[in-house]
Amino acid sequence: MGSAEFRPEASSELTQLNRVLLLQVLLEACECEAVQAEQLK
């Protein structure tokens, strides 16, 4: 792992991307849970 080569600009861009991806995953998970809850009724 060459983490020492990380440029701060690149890492901040990566964290922003990761946040967006995480938000999308969380939203999809919430939607899936809501659908499953509706089906269980």
Ranges assigned E (strand) in 1-41 = none
What's the per-residue H, E or C state across 1-41? CCHHHCCHHHHHHHHHHHHHHHHHHHHHHHHHHHHHHHHHC
- pLDDT confidence of residue 19: 93
- pLDDT confidence of residue 4: 65
pLDDT tens for the 41 residues of the chain, in order: 556 666 667 788 889 999 999 999 999 998 989 888 999 87
CA distance 31 to 36: 9
> What amino acid occupies position 19?
R
- pLDDT confidence of residue 12: 86
Give this prediction's pTM.
Answer: 0.58
